[in-house]
Chains A and B, each alone.
Chain A
Amino acid sequence: MAARAEADLRTRLQNWIPKLVLSPSLAMIFVFVYGFILFTLYLSFTDSRMLPSFGWVGLENYSKLWRLSHWEISLTNMGIFAGLYIVVCTVIGLMLAIFLDQKIRGEGVLRPLYLYPMALSFIVTGTAWKWFLDPGIGLENTMHLWGWESFSFNWIKDRNYAIYCLVLAAVWQTSGFVMAMFLAGLRGIDNEILKAAQMDGASNWNLYRRIIIPQLRPAFLSAFVILAHLAIKTFDLVIALTGGGPGRATELPATFMYSYTFTRNQMGIGAASAVIMLMTIAAIMIPYLYAELRERK
């Protein structure tokens, strides 16, 4: 009897251990993520300026927010930036991965060259990029010195094109990482299937289009999650490269939120913009996570 009771206790304990192991992480996430989100939601309805304060003002911060042309600019920019960034990174990453997968000599050298930008923050590379893109001292000037007088590259000075410079630098940073994810996916594909299809006379183009790329679906999805989260958090890049300029042409929601919360002492409006940002993220991510996680069951 005693032995059985002990065994019973052990199984019950075994059942509890996994949940116990998981609980510290969950507790931290609930307090430090979801708790703070609720706090921010609350702040967005208050008159907080320099420090949090708790005078209720209802929806005033939201109505002010939507009156600011500045906010609309940053939302539009986010659309352009995130869209282009995700698509270009994916295309370049996939292309490089496919090319690198062709039994390339020197792959061991090229791979770290493609990957290393991910190791650097824009606090480190920002100035270099800023100079490189500056027509007066950077690429344009160098081309002129080398004799190509008509060369022109002044996007960063033009408020209609500066946002594309942000895309360029952001793509530089992460496309190599995306390449690694696709390369890993490609290396996992069974070569036997490919050989069989080749016997049947399928062209390389068709092999990639019909067989290989469809098998990379998980890699596409992981790349999307990583890229989307990086796009939303893009902050250092803007500060280092353009400071939001020329004018306000490259302001993004993250820089907007920071500047209203901290430099402009309008914490209420900053919190309201954060809430809208989080709702946008949720609107995009929840369906994705739902589909992904349900499928795996």
Chain B
Amino acid sequence: MNKTYKHLKLSAAALALSVGVAQAADVEVLHWWTSGGEAAALNVLKQDLEGQGIGWQDMPVAGGGGTEAMTVLRARVTAGNAPTAVQMLGFDILDWAKEGALADLNATAAAEGWDAVVPEALQAFAKHDGKWISAPVNVHSTNWVWANKAVLDANGISAPTTWEEFVAAVETLHDAGVTAIAHGGQAWQDATVFDAVAMSTGGPDFYKAAFIDLDPTALGSDTMKEAFDRMAFIRDHVDENFSGRDWNLATAMVINGEAGFQMMGDWAKGEFLNAGKVPGEDFLCFRFPGTGSQVTFNADQFAMFDQGGPVSAEQAALASAILSPSFQSAFNVVKGSVPARTDVSDEAFDACAKQGMKDLAAASASGNLFGSMAHGHAAPASVKNAIYDVVTAHFNGEYDSATAVTELVEAVSIAQ
């Protein structure tokens, strides 16, 4: 594998010689942040760099949570003109690092003390072989529940903290004729819920054994069957039109009071805020019942592609701008996520985000911060998608829980 990339790099170097390095002081950035708020927030970064005399060539490719961008990246690298910096998630970063494609950011990291402020679980995806290879922008946490406060109040429900309380709350809503759970039936959304359910059912050790260590015993255990049974309970309490729905339409159901709960990452908050809702007054945010002290996360990072030799001055400037507390704060306020470093002031953030920042710091300190399986931070893409297949087939009634467990073990073994 390694050889392939080096071979490509050689010919890229030859190309660069023949074409001439025209725009030495520019960075070309491949990313998929194109929706209003997030793109505007990224513009802050662009202006910051332009202030230092570094041009920004934008290369946005949206779609599929970055999968389109990753396809384009492969075409670009194969063609021998990799972008300077690329937005990436979890295992993609490590995979490219294994190819020897990423530049070493250690000098910048050491000068700015990243080791001390970036949570360790996150560092696992930002470092390879002891070298910093990417600059984390944010931490999304995925085990949130979003609830319509008016709907809950009307039915005498307070935020549930255990699975049993959650079951009771859901059944109360169901009996009152309200759609208990708003959900969009797309594989990644099913898996996002499954993440939280598995964590809640088996606890952090089980989660780690099953999704991070891919231990066949844990994958095939009775606890896993229990997790699937709980998924079936959730399936029974979503409305009948859930399949294929975009997550933001599911969020709209909660906003409009048509549904009580939605299990979704913290990006859902943007929809509430955009609709003029106030956290704590109109809507509630709390951790998935039974995962109160855990945080499952995914983090966007910018990896720097090796342009031949050490990291360039522009790449270093970009990386340090990304990690600067002011950008971390400005960007994450808009994005709904929390800063990737734990020492940023929470002053500018809303109540949910303040809670998120506190949870993140606490989880990181107590070893309860885990990469999200559904979002590619627990296992490589092939395994992640193999788990998706089983979870979504079970959720759509193709498998019963026992079959799902057997299929899960088989699917993970084929994918490895």
Contact = CB atoms under 8 A, between A and B. Distances in A.
A146 to B, nearest CB: 19
A266 interface: yes
Chain B: number of interface residues, binned into ranges: 35 or more
B241 A264 contact: no
A154 B385 contact: no
A185 interface: no
A157 B241 contact: yes
Contacts of A54: 4
A157 B245 CA distance: 10
B7 to A, nearest CB: 10
Contacts of A246: 185, 243-244, 396
A86 interface: no
A263 B380 CA distance: 11
B239 interface: yes
A86 to B, nearest CB: 26
Interface in A169-194: none
Nearest to B72: A262
A52 B4 contact: yes
A136 interface: yes
Contact of B239 (A50, A130, A136, A249): A136
B4 A264 contact: no
A111 interface: no
Interface string A196-238: 0000000000000000000000000000000000000000000
Do most interface residues of chain B lie in helix, strand or loop, or is the interface mixed? Answer: helix
B343 to A, nearest CB: 35
Contacts of A50: 1, 74, 95-96, 99
A262 B71 CA distance: 6
A163 to B, nearest CB: 13
Interface in B68-85: 70-71, 74, 77-78
A43 B309 CA distance: 30
Interface stretch (A11-19, A30-38, A63-71, A112-120): A63-71
Nearest to B101: A51
A134 B396 contact: no
Contact of B241 (A67, A154, A262): A154
A246 B235 CA distance: 13
Interface stretch (B166-174, B217-225, B364-372, B387-395): B387-395
A49 B77 CA distance: 15
A247 interface: yes
Given A70-B389, A245-B186, A263-B64, A135 B74 contact: no
Interface of A: 49-54, 64, 67-68, 70, 130, 134-136, 154, 156-157, 159, 242-249, 259, 262-266
25 contacts: A50-B1, A50-B74, A50-B99, A51-B4, A51-B5, A51-B74, A51-B77, A53-B4, A67-B414, A130-B244, A135-B241, A156-B243, A159-B396, A243-B187, A244-B187, A245-B187, A246-B243, A248-B392, A259-B385, A264-B381, A264-B382, A264-B415, A265-B95, A265-B381, A265-B382
